[in-house]
Structure 1
Amino acid sequence: MCISNSFWRHFSCNGVDFTVTRKHPQLIHGTFNIGKESAWDLSVVYGHPNPSKRRDLWTELRNIEEGGVGRWCVGSDFNAILHRNERKSKAHEATGPDRGFVNWFNNSDMTDLNFQSPQFTWKRGHAQSRLDRVVVNTDWFETFPLALVLHLPKLKSDHCPLLIRLRDKGTQKKCDTSFRFFAPWTMHEEFEAFVKQNWRDDCLWDTNITRFTAEVQGWNKKVFGNIERRKMALYAQLDQLNNLNLDSPLWNKKRCEVWLELEKCLQQEELMWVQRSRCNWYHHGDKNTRYFHTVTQCRKRRKNIEALQDMNGEWCYDQESLRREGTNFFQKLYTVENTQASEINFGGSYPMILEDKIDVLGYIASQQEIKHALFSMGSLKAPGPDGLNPLFYQSQWSTVGKSMTSMVQSIFTTPDLIKNFNGTNIVLIPKVEV
């Protein structure tokens, strides 16, 4: 098949509009509209099976990009792979990644849309590969951050049809509404005073946690506010002051104040995206907000499950079937079939612990040791059930340190108390073959 043999001039159905603007033997390119949404560029490809002739496809894609594209989506049958694990064959040396494909993908800074269902989209005999995929540029990805691709069952072809689910952010269901500490709060000038008002050393640890988490959510709405709205308002205010084109000391002072406020807001935004991206190598001041935003959206897409393979090897896609298969899998996984477990014989012997070492193990941890352990943790590591990550306790140590020390030391004197603090959040995720 050659794409040029298909006569595509215009496509329209139920508010969906696609107009072809460029044709090539291995590609059709055009503008795509959905209802009132702004147009985005769509390239439907069919890579030539011959690698030498397929080079024309990568050249044409570069030409399209150099001619100017906005939000760009490229997909269908590339007849090539990006990674070696995307091909499986009994041949002694299976064909590896297409170097031209890899170079174009990296140089154009494209993102491979997350997919679900079977890993391979093409199969013939014992050979199978992921030849079909959808890749997008950063502008398209930021417009549809929750989009993913479903590999649908094969019909009368040896290729899987591809279904792109855009999934608007507004229609995404929020399953987890539990409290989470918001790192940018620590950058607000009133936050430290707020913590002191709502954290008392003479109260029980659970009482302090409950009071603080309840009060801080109201403080967030009334005092801290929405970072994005504050940023846009400050941009508009700064633009208005610049348009006045005044050069008096009063106006210069006002512009400086707005600029400093905007700089602080941008730093808060940076920390917000770093926290959401779970980045481990961040240093304050990196200013890579767009990168952290992209990482966050990638994590969001990976957390969504749109397809599962049942016990019979069939793929299911509807939500009710997904819930049922997930529940059945873990119920079977954690169901004990043999209740009479045999006694474990470790054998061998263990060295005796000297008495002076035993005495050291019984010591109660000092405040300095507790503080050192706390500050050794990663500030933005995932929190426990109370929603407070290490950053909160580290930044507010002068206020919460005394009660934290009392809480930890009480566990040393009454070990049974550990069950009240040793809770954790667990997400059960089945392993998949990559």
Structure 2
Amino acid sequence: MNNIGCWNTWGLNSPQKQKAVTEWINKHHLDIVALFETKIAGKNLPSIQTKICHNWHFQTNHPHSSPSPCRIMLGWNPNKYSLVCTHINAQWITCSATHTTGNNAINITFVYGLHSPAERKKLWEYINASSGSFSNQPWVIMGDFNAILSPAYKEGGDRNWYSHSDDFANSIHGAGLIHLPLTGPILSWHNGQQGGHTIQKKLDWAFVNHHLLQKWPSAITHFQPRSTSDHSAMHVQLTTPNPPKKKPFHFLNLWLQREDFPSILASVWDVNIVGNPMHVLHSKLRALKARLKHYHKHNTNHISRRLDKAKEDWTTFQQQLNDNPTSQEIMNQERAAAKLFAQLSREEEYFYKQQSRVQWLQLGDQNTKFFHRSVQHRRSRNTIHSMVDSDGVLHHSQDAMGKIAVDYYQGILSGQSEDGPFDVTGLYPRKISSASQTTLAQPVTNEEIKIAMYAIPDEKAPGPDGFTAKFFKQTWNTTGGDVTRAVQHFFKTSRLPRGMNATKIAMVGWPDEAVVRSSKAFCFVFVFLTCLSRLSV
């Protein structure tokens, strides 16, 4: 685990603040720390550094600061890290930190932005320039930027948004940096005033590049409540990801573009299955899922690796064709390699678009990198790092958090209300008219079912079966009959097989937020959409 901290201490000469910094470092097991606005004169730096962490090494930007007190003081534990400062400026210190175990280096930029927009211009330019240098290396940039990304990160004070206020956001966006999810206070700075004079802002930030998220997808920033400073202390936690668990099946829409997919579908769907329509549909989907899992393993798994290999092969055949331009065999091989590369390029873009859940951007414009980064950002944002059980104990392991979630929802779904029966009639003053009731009671038509299906967004797969709406839309000539009969069977009998009525609990965002998602449960989806369309007529 790597814990990297920074704190605008608003002075560091008093024993009280020195003690607070030492306790913060020890409590959170920090090995690399940057302290801002220390107000320590150069001659006093060695003695105060010893008081904070006796055996640590330190580097400051004191020679570049004006006036003389130190603006940024960087310290690290030499027993854990070997650290080399690569660039020092009045507004930042950039270093390369390598763990003593020999792990790859982490590039870290600690920022303490100057107070005027004009002075911060150099900082924004440096961020954009450095993004290219660190494009293939993990990079964390964190600290007090003295700027906010948008008006939402400010309470009180001047509400105007001036043109220079966009410089920060433009710099972060241009550098392709990702804002890490956080715990603790969002507005990290308080002006110390009361009433109408109170101003709070988020001036302290932590960003990473996509290369770091690939190595530490669970990276998170922890902010502490303010204590001896007007700023919150913060630290970035880089934890080794848990071993990957078996992933549930999820239909990949790229399969629909493959020439061999219709034959796979037909080999399953043409099998005669005896039973009620619900059983028939569920059995065919289960059989198709098994076929597609095997197909994915041998044809579309590790799509980016396959693309890289295809590009290498194409390059090789081009070189061979250059040496033997009249060889028909090499010419055919080069054309086949080019075709495969083009196909895999499209499939990779399809794959990452579906994983990213980005709905507004269309395929075909070489957006693979954007989709890939969106996937990383979404996974980082949705990762849950800890949960508190009913006894108030904090747990970090995946198994423990899973048990807490299951126990919580089992208690909700199986518990008895202490208030007894509750009369809900007063909650719904408006009633469905007799005419609407008659309309709703009519048998569901084939056309209504098809309209309901086509109203579901392509990428949506509401539950454990993993089949997207696009699968059914594009294969409707084959699957539509079984889907229609299954839905109509439900309307007649009001019964669902166990496999069609499974429920999946997905924890989204922070531990206090949860979404209960039903399985495909076609009937529930169609009942809602069909009834809604009938009532709107």
Where on the TM-score scale, by shorter chain, does this alignment land: which range?
Answer: 0.7 to 0.9
Q: In structure 1, what is the equivalent of residue 88 of structure 2?
A: 23
SS of equivalent residue, structure 2 residue 506? coil
Judge conservation of contact 2:282–2:499 (CA < 8 Å) in 1.
no
Matching of residue 80 in structure 1 with residue 143 in structure 2: no
Q: CA deviation at 1:271?
A: 0.7
Q: CA deviation at 1:267?
A: 0.9
Matching of residue 337 in structure 1 with residue 418 in structure 2: yes
Judge conservation of contact 2:72–2:112 (CA < 8 Å) in 1.
no
SS of equivalent residue, structure 1 residue 405? helix
Structure 2 CA distance for aligned equivalents of residues 77 and 236 of structure 1: 44
Structure 2 CA distance for aligned equivalents of residues 315 and 129 of structure 1: 32
Q: CA deviation at 1:410?
A: 1.7
Judge conservation of contact 1:117–1:308 (CA < 8 Å) in 2.
no
Where in structure 1 are there 5+ consecutive unaligned residues?
A: none
Q: CA deviation at 1:340?
A: 3.4
Q: CA deviation at 1:103?
A: 4.2
Structure 2 CA distance for aligned equivalents of residues 11 and 339 of structure 1: 60
SS of equivalent residue, structure 1 residue 198? helix
Map 1:200-215 onto structure 2 (within 5 A).
200=270, 202-203=272-273, 204-215=280-291
Structure 2 CA distance for aligned equivalents of residues 17 and 386 of structure 1: 49
Matching of residue 265 in structure 1 with residue 344 in structure 2: yes
Q: CA deviation at 1:418?
A: 8.3
Judge conservation of contact 2:72–2:92 (CA < 8 Å) in 1.
no
Structure 2 CA distance for aligned equivalents of residues 360 and 12 of structure 1: 71
SS of equivalent residue, structure 2 residue 425? coil
Encode CA deviations 1:134-160: one digit per residue, 9 max, x unaligned. Answer: 123455555544422122455644433
Map 1:34-183 onto structure 2 (within 5 A).
34=99, 36-48=102-114, 51-52=115-116, 55-63=118-126, 65-66=128-129, 69-71=133-135, 72-89=139-156, 93=158, 98-123=165-190, 124=192, 126=194, 127-141=199-213, 144-154=216-226, 156-168=228-240, 171-174=241-244, 177-183=247-253
SS of equivalent residue, structure 1 residue 215? helix
SS of equivalent residue, structure 1 residue 427? strand
Q: CA deviation at 1:217?
A: 1.3
Structure 2 CA distance for aligned equivalents of residues 387 and 349 of structure 1: 37
- The one-letter code sitting in structure 1 at the alignment partner of 2:367 is N
Judge conservation of contact 2:111–2:144 (CA < 8 Å) in 1.
yes
Structure 1 CA distance for aligned equivalents of residues 120 and 440 of structure 2: 70
Judge conservation of contact 1:10–1:19 (CA < 8 Å) in 2.
no
Normalized against structure 1, the TM-score is what?
Answer: 0.81
RMSD: 3.8
- The one-letter code sitting in structure 1 at the alignment partner of 2:133 is V
Judge conservation of contact 2:128–2:171 (CA < 8 Å) in 1.
no
Structure 2 CA distance for aligned equivalents of residues 76 and 60 of structure 1: 12
Structure 2 CA distance for aligned equivalents of residues 116 and 9 of structure 1: 24
Structure 2 CA distance for aligned equivalents of residues 309 and 121 of structure 1: 24
Q: In structure 1, what is the equivalent of residue 24 of structure 2?
A: none
- The one-letter code sitting in structure 1 at the alignment partner of 2:125 is R
Normalized against structure 2, the TM-score is what?
Answer: 0.67
Judge conservation of contact 2:210–2:376 (CA < 8 Å) in 1.
no
Matching of residue 291 in structure 1 with residue 370 in structure 2: yes
Q: In structure 1, what is the equivalent of residue 312 of structure 2?
A: 236
Judge conservation of contact 1:117–1:307 (CA < 8 Å) in 2.
no
Structure 2 CA distance for aligned equivalents of residues 378 and 222 of structure 1: 29
Judge conservation of contact 1:147–1:167 (CA < 8 Å) in 2.
yes
Q: CA deviation at 1:174?
A: 4.4
For the structure 1 residues 343 and 241, does the alpha-carbon distance in structure 2 shift closer, same or farther, using more than 3 Å as the test?
closer
Judge conservation of contact 2:97–2:106 (CA < 8 Å) in 1.
yes
- The one-letter code sitting in structure 2 at the alignment partner of 1:25 is A
Structure 1 CA distance for aligned equivalents of residues 267 and 402 of structure 2: 44
For the structure 1 residues 134 and 315, does the alpha-carbon distance in structure 2 shift closer, same or farther, using more than 3 Å as the test?
farther
SS of equivalent residue, structure 1 residue 79? coil
Q: In structure 1, what is the equivalent of residue 23 of structure 2?
A: none
SS of equivalent residue, structure 2 residue 84? strand
- The one-letter code sitting in structure 1 at the alignment partner of 2:286 is T
- The one-letter code sitting in structure 2 at the alignment partner of 1:352 is S
For the structure 1 residues 278 and 131, does the alpha-carbon distance in structure 2 shift closer, same or farther, using more than 3 Å as the test?
same
SS of equivalent residue, structure 2 residue 435? coil
Alignment size in residue pairs: 421
SS of equivalent residue, structure 1 residue 416? coil
